[in-house]
């Protein structure tokens, strides 16, 4: 149970230190550290980042989603090509989906021209890419479970029965 | 005008709530971390709020049946059967009320004649004694003790039985102690209730928030109890819906009918918007409750650990979201301790005496507060008790 709690806490809040995690879960700091090391070793944990509200960033970068249809390869399926596409620096996330397209990429670049360049000059030239469809992000409301404009703090009674 | 001669003697005799006195002291101070609340810090889960909004959009703005929406009563019937293993007919045995507070008041008014005795256990929720007094019945206190983790003992109830005894109020998990009862303890209490022909009001408002043992354990399951239990439950705590004011009573038709007579004239019905939200809570609110419960449990474990480490004797409560540490070793009364903690460290916790005289020597600390706030509160409390020890 302790490890499950640890996992949930780490998933919901990357700021928590080993000390914080120990206090919240009741595990010792050493146990927390050992478990984190094990998860890293196993490749379960791959890093942590801040969640940024992109709309608030000055000179914010452009984000877009690109639906990509690709041709599966004999033997390798989608993996080789998906990994190849994911390697580009512009691509910040890449997953394989069921449905009308195969890969959904999120790209982040400095301006809209760079999106166009990436799609036309890079992506569409890759052998096995059948078609793409690009959606520019206009505004963000929630990211990784964090809502950007949430509830207002109401007046909660400081003392109540 | 001399208003005191205008106010009813019954109401005039009810003392001011100790919580309200303390509230006045806390309000207006900045930077107070409050462990004095009695409600979840979580907002109502979004799907439940959405259901309330949708109900308004559809134009559901009317009265409902006095008993509550039948769809809601059907859902309550399924939920209660699932949780408490008790069968109630949605048509005649379930009454939807404005919070458990209303249901408790209805039950007491429906049952009590002037002079009847109502037994309840202290420390307890602040409304029991005044609600009993307002029906012109006599409140009879059974004190619960730290050595039993504040679970009421059947022999202590039996010792208070007189020919006038009529009703017994039980509240597990208990506000303010977090106490839970064992099946054996409940069975023994049930025997006393059956032998003395008592009606039992089972206030189950914290049931889902049970961390040790079966959340669905209730006196109603004990032999002979179905016919003499009014099960009171609601949505405020587990579903974080305090502001919706939604509760319900489950009981045999004759008792529900009696409560209905008061409810239909005093309240007419619970608000329809809240009933729509409550229906969604029962049908699809379970995962959110579980998520909140995991958080409460983590905080409980942390609070108990910290309080014991700093020298306060604090048992690990089996339910609700309160810890009830013993502060007697510092030689201060609960009230003095709470006031000094507030003034010296800006931490608000409610003196145990607000929940009955036998709460003397204890402090209620609510952990339905963000974890980082609890950490600061515990640090402040640690330096406070550290100073007390040095001064002694």
Q: Are residues B22 and B118 in the same domain?
A: no
Residue-averaged pLDDT of chain A: 92
Percentage above 90 pLDDT, chain B: 94
Q: Are residues B251 and B129 in the same domain?
A: yes
Min Cα separation A144/chain B (Å): 17
Structural domain ending residue among the three candidates B216, B249, B284:
B284
- Angle, alpha carbons B242-B244-B249 (nearest 5°): 85
Q: Are residues B301 and B230 in the same domain?
A: no
- Return the SS3 of A133: strand
Q: Are residues B61 and B135 in the same domain?
A: yes
CA distance B198 to B201: 10
Structural domain ending residue among the three candidates B284, B313, B329:
B284
CA distance B194 to A124: 81
Min Cα separation B83/chain A (Å): 23
Q: A19 to chain B: nearest residue by CA? A: B375
Q: Are residues A18 and A63 in the same domain?
A: no
Query: Which among B19, B305, B371 has the least Cβ separation from residue A161?
Result: B19
CA distance B387 to B392: 9
Query: What per-residue confidence (pLDDT) applies to B281?
Result: 98
CB atoms inside a 10 Å sphere around CB A117? 14
CATH number, residue A118: 3.30.70.920
Place B125 in a pLDDT band, splitting at 50, 70 and 90.
very high
CA distance B102 to B203: 12
Percentage above 70 pLDDT, chain A: 99
Q: Are residues A84 and A128 in the same domain?
A: yes
The answer as to whether A97 is a domain residue is yes
CA distance B242 to B277: 12
A5 with B302: Cβ contact below 8 A:
no
Q: Are residues B257 and B123 in the same domain?
A: yes
Q: Are residues A77 and A113 in the same domain?
A: yes
Query: What's the number of domains chain B is made of?
Result: 2
**The residue to which tokens 């002291």 are assigned:** B25
Residue B293: burial class (beta carbons within 10 Å; 0-12, 13-18, 19+): middle
Which domain does A99 fall in, by range?
54-139
User: What ipTM was predicted for this assembly?
Assistant: 0.80
Q: Are residues A133 and A58 in the same domain?
A: yes
The answer as to whether B213 is a domain residue is yes
Q: Are residues B17 and B53 in the same domain?
A: no
Contact list in A for residue B19 (CB cut-off 8 A) is 159-161
Contact list in B for residue A161 (CB cut-off 8 A) is 17, 19, 38, 125-127, 175, 354
CA A147 to chain centre: 15
Q: Are residues A12 and A71 in the same domain?
A: no
- Angle, alpha carbons A141-A145-A149 (nearest 5°): 35
CB B22 within 8 A of CB B335: no
The three-state DSSP-derived secondary structure of chain B is CCHHHCCCHHHHHCCCCHHHHHHHHHCCCCCCEECECCCCCCCCCHHHHHHHHHHHHCCCCCCCCCCCCHHHHHHHHHHHHHHHCCCCCCCCCEEEECHHHHHHHHHHHHHCCCCCEEEEEECCCCCHHHHHHHCCCEEEEEECCHHHCCCCCHHHHHCCCCCCEEEEEEECCCCCCCCCCCHHHHHHHHHHHHHCCCEEEEECCCCCCECCCCCCCCHHHCCCCHHHEEEEEECCCCCCCHHHCCEEEECCHHHHHHHHHHHHHHCCCCCHHHHHHHHHHHHHCHHHHHHHHHHHHHHHHHHHHHHHHCCCECCCCCECCEECCECHHHCCCHHHHHHHHHHHHCEECEEHHHHCHHHCCEEEEECCCCHHHHHHHHHHHHHHHHHHHHHC
Q: Are residues B239 and B192 in the same domain?
A: yes
Q: Are residues A74 and A110 in the same domain?
A: yes
DSSP 8-class letter at A29: H
Place A76 in a pLDDT band, splitting at 50, 70 and 90.
confident
Reading the block at residue A14, the tokens are 């990357």
The answer as to whether B218 is a domain residue is yes
CB atoms inside a 10 Å sphere around CB A29? 14
Q: Are residues A29 and A59 in the same domain?
A: no
Query: What per-residue confidence (pLDDT) applies to B191?
Result: 98
Place A1 in a pLDDT band, splitting at 50, 70 and 90.
low
Structural domain ending residue among the three candidates B284, B299, B334:
B284
Give yes or no for B43 touching A (CB within 8 A).
yes
Q: Are residues B126 and B193 in the same domain?
A: yes
Segment A55-58 long-range contacts (CB within 8 Å, at least 24 positions apart): A55/A139, A55/A140, A55/A148
Min Cα separation B74/chain A (Å): 31
**Size of chain A, expressed as the number of residues it contains:** 161
CB B251 within 8 A of CB B94: no
The answer as to whether B391 is a domain residue is no
Q: Which residues pair with B138 in a beta bridge?
A: B117
Q: Are residues B39 and B54 in the same domain?
A: no
Q: Are residues B197 and B252 in the same domain?
A: yes
CATH number, residue B166: 3.40.640.10
Least confident range of A80-84, B209-213, B388-392:
B388-392
Contact list in A for residue B36 (CB cut-off 8 A) is 158-160
The answer as to whether B179 is a domain residue is yes
pLDDT in tens, B308-333: 999 999 999 999 999 999 999 999 99
Q: Which residues pair with B232 in a beta bridge?
A: B203, B249
The answer as to whether B128 is a domain residue is yes
The answer as to whether A32 is a domain residue is yes
B36 with A26: Cβ contact below 8 A:
no
The answer as to whether A125 is a domain residue is yes
Give yes or no for B298 touching A (CB within 8 A).
yes
Query: What per-residue confidence (pLDDT) applies to B19?
Result: 82
Q: Which residues pair with A158 in a beta bridge?
A: none
Q: Are residues A91 and A35 in the same domain?
A: no
The answer as to whether A147 is a domain residue is no
Q: Are residues A21 and A72 in the same domain?
A: no
Q: Are residues A30 and A73 in the same domain?
A: no
Query: What per-residue confidence (pLDDT) applies to B294?
Result: 93
Q: Are residues B208 and B346 in the same domain?
A: no
Query: What per-residue confidence (pLDDT) applies to B28?
Result: 79
Q: A152 to chain B: nearest residue by CA? A: B43
Query: What per-residue confidence (pLDDT) applies to A132?
Result: 97
Query: What's the number of domains chain A is made of?
Result: 2
The answer as to whether B32 is a domain residue is yes
pLDDT in tens, B262-314: 999 999 999 999 999 999 999 999 999 999 999 999 999 999 999 999 999 99
Min Cα separation B189/chain A (Å): 26
CB B103 within 8 A of CB B248: yes
Q: Are residues B185 and B70 in the same domain?
A: yes
CB B315 within 8 A of CB B179: no
CATH number, residue B11: 3.90.1150.10
The three-state DSSP-derived secondary structure of A135-161 is EECCCCCEECCEECCCCCCCCCCCECC
Place B105 in a pLDDT band, splitting at 50, 70 and 90.
very high
CA distance A62 to B355: 58
The answer as to whether A74 is a domain residue is yes
The answer as to whether A122 is a domain residue is yes
The answer as to whether A47 is a domain residue is no
DSSP 8-class letter at A95: E
The answer as to whether B178 is a domain residue is yes
Q: B243 to chain A: nearest residue by CA? A: A156
Q: Give, to the nearest 10 degrees, the angle between helix B371-391 and helix B286-309.
A: 20
Residue-averaged pLDDT of chain B: 96
Percentage above 70 pLDDT, chain B: 100
CA distance B118 to B136: 10
Q: Are residues A91 and A115 in the same domain?
A: yes
Min Cα separation B371/chain A (Å): 8
- Angle, alpha carbons A143-B284-A13 (nearest 5°): 30
Question: Is residue A154 scored above 90 in pLDDT?
Answer: no
Question: In Å, how far are B117, B157, B298 from A32, measured between CA atoms?
Answer: 55, 47, 15
Q: Are residues A59 and A135 in the same domain?
A: yes
The answer as to whether B132 is a domain residue is yes
A25 with B298: Cβ contact below 8 A:
yes
Which domain does B22 fall in, by range?
3-44+287-386
The answer as to whether A150 is a domain residue is no
pLDDT in tens, A15-57: 999 999 999 998 999 999 999 999 999 999 999 999 999 889 9
């Amino acid at each position: 149970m302790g490890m499950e709690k640890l996992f949930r806490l780490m998933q919901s809040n990357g700021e928590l230190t080993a000390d914080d995690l120990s206090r919240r879960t009741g595990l010792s700091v050493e146990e927390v550290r050992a478990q984190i090391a094990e998860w890293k070793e196993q490749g379960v944990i791959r890093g942590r980042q801040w969640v940024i509200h992109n709309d608030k960033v000055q000179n914010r970068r452009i984000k877009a989603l690109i639906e990509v249809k690709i041709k599966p390869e004999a033997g390798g399926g989608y993996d080789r090509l998906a990994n190849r596409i994911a390697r580009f620096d512009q691509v910040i996330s890449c997953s394989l989906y069921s449905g009308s397209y195969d890969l959904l990429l999120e790209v982040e670049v400095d301006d809209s021209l760079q999106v166009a360049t990436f799609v036309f000059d890079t992506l569409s030239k890759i052998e096995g890419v059948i078609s793409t469809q690009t959606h520019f992000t206009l505004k963000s409301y929630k990211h990784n479970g964090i809502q950007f404009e949430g509830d207002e703090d109401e007046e909660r009674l400081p003392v109540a029965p | 005008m001399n208003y005191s001669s205008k106010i009813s003697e019954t109401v005039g005799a009810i003392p001011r709530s100790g919580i309200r006195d303390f509230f006045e002291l806390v309000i207006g101070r900045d930077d107070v971390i409050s462990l004095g609340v009695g409600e979840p810090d979580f907002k109502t889960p979004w799907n439940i709020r959405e259901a309330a909004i949708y109900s308004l959009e559809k134009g559901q703005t009317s009265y409902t049946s006095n008993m509550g929406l039948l769809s809601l009563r059907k859902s309550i019937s399924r939920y209660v059967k699932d949780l408490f293993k008790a069968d109630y007919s949605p048509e005649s045995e379930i009454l939807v009320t404005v919070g458990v507070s209303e249901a408790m008041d209805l039950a007491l008014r429906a049952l009590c004649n002037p002079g009847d005795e109502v037994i309840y256990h202290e420390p307890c929720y602040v409304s029991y004694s005044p609600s009993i007094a307002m029906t012109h019945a006599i409140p009879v206190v059974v004190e619960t003790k730290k050595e039993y983790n504040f679970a009421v003992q059947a022999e202590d109830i039996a010792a208070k039985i007189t020919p006038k005894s009529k009703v017994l109020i039980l509240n597990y998990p208990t506000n303010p102690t977090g106490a839970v009862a064992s099946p054996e303890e409940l069975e023994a209490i049930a025997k006393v209730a059956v032998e003395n022909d008592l009606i039992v009001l089972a206030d189950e408002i914290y049931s889902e928030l049970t961390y040790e043992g079966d959340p669905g354990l209730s006196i109603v399951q004990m032999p002979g109890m179905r016919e003499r239990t009014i099960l009171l439950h609601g949505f405020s705590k587990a579903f974080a819906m305090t502001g919706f004011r939604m509760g319900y009573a489950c009981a045999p038709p004759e008792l529900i009918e009696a409560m209905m007579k008061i409810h239909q004239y005093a309240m007419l019905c619970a608000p329809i918007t809240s009933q729509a939200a409550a229906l969604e809570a029962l049908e699809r609110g379970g995962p959110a409750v579980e998520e909140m419960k995991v958080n409460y449990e983590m905080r409980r474990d942390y609070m108990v650990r910290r309080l014991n480490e700093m020298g306060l004797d604090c048992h690990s409560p089996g339910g609700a979201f309160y810890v009830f540490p013993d502060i007697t070793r510092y030689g201060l009364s609960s009230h003095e301790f709470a006031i000094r903690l507030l003034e010296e460290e800006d931490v608000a916790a409610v003196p145990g005496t607000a929940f009955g005289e036998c709460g003397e020597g204890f402090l209620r600390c609510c952990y339905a507060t963000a974890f980082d706030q609890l950490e600061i509160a515990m640090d402040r409390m640690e330096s406070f008790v550290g100073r007390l020890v040095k001064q002694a």
